[in-house]
Amino acid sequence: MILDEYPRYQASPYPDRIILLPGTQGELSYQVSWRTDESVAIAEAEIALASSSPSLSVDAKTVQGNTLPLTAGNGLAHHHAIEFSQLKSDTLYVYRVKGAGVWSEWFQFRTPDAVNPFPFEVLYFGDAQNSVKSLFSRVVRQAVLSTRNPSLMIHAGDMIDRLGIQDNNWGEWFEAMSWIAPSILQLPVPGNHEYNETTMPPQRVPQWDAQFVSAKNGPAGFEQTVFYTDYQNVRFIVLDSTRAIHDESAAIAQAQWLTQVLSTNKAQWTIVIYHHPMMSVSHGTPNQMLTEHWRPLFEQYGVDLVLQGHDHVYGRSGFPDTEAVGPVYVVSVAGPKMNLVSEAATNTLAVTGEDVQLYQSITLSSSQLRFEARTVTGEVYDRFVLEQLPGGGNTLMDDFTPLGKSPRSICSKAGQVPAQVDASGTPRPGRCWDGMVWR
């Protein structure tokens, strides 16, 4: 059988790639995007208050939006987007999106609680990137199954790989996310694999803008990749590190916008997300543009937590301390591609580890941020608590991580073929496991 004769991820009259995203009008607005073939020319959805009755369509309100034609690896598709606005606080809604004479299933979501914002839980994933359907899918599903009603999911870039037919990779990501992406608010962050870096400045893959409509409150020229969204007294800020590391003017433009967003921030907690680590855990070197232009702002304005990807290992800053601490920086990986931790990182960071697929849960309350990294099989891998101090800043409590520099886990496959070689058979230093070659 030749699988290319059966295009699995080709667009059809049936809606697919449905995802729930932050709105442009504050935390009581949401955007939804989805895809069909060219037979659907109008973006149309229905929304209603959720009820226990199946007669959801009787009182549903119709909302229309925008449609963007896009020809990619699977031919022409129409990408649709609508916005649900002026929603009520702490209310359960249902919605569905339209194809060519057919509807999707009904999905439901609850809006943020403006009166009692805490506690709530967030999930965070590092790079998925390779063998997404095969190996990332169990990570994201295990995360949702083990979490009680997560409010939001963060993806810190490199959600797919550049190899092969680009659109098939996106098909795998959305299939791995299945019903989850349309039901839980998603915060996708662009990584270098969402860009073509063979041209300068790097150009985003066309599916990014079509699939992940933005809150559109970022700086000029970065509206599709840089934004913030407030959710129940927490400000989540998304930055574009790929453009920043290639072009100092891009790092500076985001820093200027970031200064405004942080200086006017009234939220109890602030979490910043981008792709390239401030300090590389696999290479042991800093990303100069980020350390020069972004890090001082994180420290000046009291950012609490910085979530990153890219390195395909685990690393976390922050030792237990009775004094006020600055931002805690975390790097993690959800997919199967695994690198090795550098010696410099083991001598600098509180916790490091390699050769492990992880997800992270973050529970936020009025005075504490509880962070827990778990393996895909459910074991606790790392855990700490940030407690806000009355005069500002946080203290980090860590009753789980033993003091010491050795990695939490080490690569069990070093030296195996093809894990340590590239397509030509050349050894690849710093690599533990090439996820793209295991199916």
Over residues 208-231, the pLDDT tens digits come to: 999 999 999 999 999 999 999 999
Average pLDDT over residues 72-92: 96
- Which pLDDT band, with edges at 50, 70 and 90, does 266 fall under? very high
- Rounded CA gap, 387 and 221, in Å? 37
The DSSP string of 368-418 is EEEEEEEETTS-EEEEEEEEE-TTSSEEEE-SSSPSSSS-SS--S-TT-TT
pLDDT of residue 2: 53
- Rounded CA gap, 296 and 298, in Å? 5
pLDDT of residue 413: 66
| C-beta separation of 186 from 92 below 8 A | no
Element (H, E) at 82: strand 75-84
DSSP 132: I
Q: Is the peptide bond before 150 cis (omega within 30 degrees of 0)?
A: no
Q: Distances in Å between the alpha carbon of 169 and those of 125, 162, 217? A: 17, 8, 28
Average pLDDT over residues 92-101: 97
φ, ψ dihedrals at 58, nearest 5°: -60, -45
| C-beta separation of 315 from 345 below 8 A | yes
Instruction: For residue 411, give both structure tokens.
Output: 């690569």
DSSP 87: P
pLDDT of residue 437: 45
Element (H, E) at 209: helix 206-211
Burial of residue 88 (number of CB atoms within 10 Å: 0-12, 13-18, 19+): exposed
What does pTM read for this prediction? Answer: 0.94
Is residue 284 predicted with pLDDT exceeding 90? Answer: no
Residues 103-136 have pLDDT tens digits of 999 999 999 999 999 999 999 999 999 999 999 9
| C-beta separation of 280 from 288 below 8 A | no
Q: Higher pLDDT residue, 267 or 421? A: 267
Buried b (16+ CB within 10 A) or exposed e, 19-33: bbbbbbeebbbbbbb
- Which pLDDT band, with edges at 50, 70 and 90, does 411 fall under? confident
pLDDT of residue 320: 77
pLDDT of residue 291: 96
- Which pLDDT band, with edges at 50, 70 and 90, does 401 fall under? low
> 232 CB contacts (<8 Å, ≥6 apart)?
27, 112, 113, 114, 117, 118, 120, 151, 364
Is residue 425 predicted with pLDDT exceeding 70? Answer: no
Four-residue CA torsion sign, 63, 64, 70, 75: positive
Is residue 438 predicted with pLDDT exceeding 60? Answer: no
Q: Higher pLDDT residue, 189 or 404? A: 189
User: Which amino acid would we find at residue 147?
Assistant: T
Instruction: For residue 109, give both structure tokens.
Output: 């979501």
Four-residue CA torsion sign, 175, 176, 181, 182: positive
> 288 CB contacts (<8 Å, ≥6 apart)?
none
Percentage of residues in the chain having pLDDT higher than 70: 90
DSSP 106: P
| C-beta separation of 132 from 176 below 8 A | yes
- Spell out the domains of the chain, with CATH numbers in brackets: 15-110 (2.60.40.380), 120-397 (3.60.21.10)
- Which pLDDT band, with edges at 50, 70 and 90, does 289 fall under? very high
pLDDT of residue 407: 76
Residues 2-46 have pLDDT tens digits of 555 668 899 999 999 999 999 999 999 999 999 999 999 999 999
pLDDT of residue 165: 54
Buried b (16+ CB within 10 A) or exposed e, 327-341: bbbbbbbbbbbbbbb
Average pLDDT over residues 196-210: 89
| C-beta separation of 48 from 108 below 8 A | no
pLDDT of residue 406: 57
Secondary structure (3-state) at 167 = helix
128-132, 343-347, 423-427, range with the lowest pLDDT: 423-427
- Rounded CA gap, 280 and 284, in Å? 5
Is residue 402 predicted with pLDDT exceeding 70? Answer: no
Residue-averaged pLDDT of the chain: 91
pLDDT of residue 1: 46
pLDDT of residue 417: 42
